[in-house]
A = this chain, B = another copy of it.
Amino acid sequence: MTEPQTPDTAQPAGSVKKHGRDGKSNATIYDIAKMAGVNASTVSRALSKPGRVSSKTQKLIEDAAAQLNYQVNPFARALPTGKTNTFGLIVADITNPTFFDIIRGAETTATSRDYTLVLAESAESPATELTAARRLMATVDGLILASPRMDDDNIRALAQDKPVVVINREVDGVPCVVPDVNKGISEAVRSMAANGHQRIAYVAGPPQSWMSERRWEGVQAACDWSRLEAVRLESSKPTVDGGRKTARDVRASGATAVMTYNDLLAIGLMQELQAAGIVVPDHISIIGFDDIFGADFTTPPLTTVRSPLGECGEAAATRLLDLLHGSGEQAGTLSVETELVLRGSSGRILPAK
């Protein structure tokens, strides 16, 4: 009696699905209600907040749901509640490996907490970024901005609408997850000082990059402390190719050690220098930032200041989810540690130039 007619053979012409969505319209709570002999609202209760229904009917309903292979329609649910169980992640450049781990971290925690991750890219453009953010805002419960390029004000405006967490940048009044550069940088600079370097160049990243400035400040501070000289150079783009193009300036700077805004720049720089016959690290030491995928593919493998990007992604997602569930209302910055990863591209300079 609990079982309806199995619709495998002759099916009366009248029982054809009314609206016939795209073929097999899925079962709704009404179907379950009918089968279980209860009201649809009871089904809703049983399925969404267990405990508010007698254990007898609860089981009845669950069985029916299982038999009908029922699954909620997220859109129908989102309409009255406004909750979508989805959050967005916007990165500056999908092909930049810096973001790979961030994406993975976010995706992992998302699915582990039964959320869906939607991804968008800003192509390093503040305008595109803002557009993407606005678009996503309509679909998600919250947003993670990784290395955002847009204004603080725009970010705050978004954050006023729905929970927003920022990675790799500090924005007043918005929860952030930021690697603290100091530990890693001071380790790096001390290592260079110990190896006899006197003059260190920093190759900066994009002008809009908040993090690039923090790193430059860190390098300056650490050099001051170790009584080394720090000089700043600019780059065109924070890519391998951009790194190659800085080689000339680097050589002209007279520095014997170089720290670059990111690993990509370091790799490009190293390739270009080596192509010119310069030996790394005998003639010049190179240190990158981030420890991205592939940083150890080079010869010599790249010394770098590692940022725990995966952790950042996880932490940001966790914070966002907590915010969504009303746990933590704080808007402060969460710092994660950086550390020097000593590999072959840095070391003592050889007397013979």
Contact = CB atoms under 8 A, between A and B. Distances in A.
B94 A107 contact: yes
A158 interface: no
Contacts of A121: 104, 107-108, 111
Interface string A105-146: 001100100001111110000000000101110110000000
A103 interface: yes
A73 interface: yes
Interface residues of A, number: 46
A21 interface: yes
Interface in A194-236: none
Contacts of A135: 116
A65 to B, nearest CB: 14
B104 A138 contact: no
Interface stretch (A37-45, A56-64, A170-178, A291-299): A291-299
Given A74-B139, A94-B100, A107-B121, 15 more contacts: A23-B160, A23-B161, A24-B161, A73-B79, A73-B138, A79-B79, A86-B139, A100-B100, A104-B121, A108-B121, A111-B121, A116-B139, A118-B118, A298-B298, A298-B299
Interface of A: 21-24, 71-76, 78-79, 82, 84, 86, 94-95, 97, 100-101, 103-104, 107-108, 111, 116-121, 132, 134-136, 138-139, 160-162, 267, 293-294, 297-299
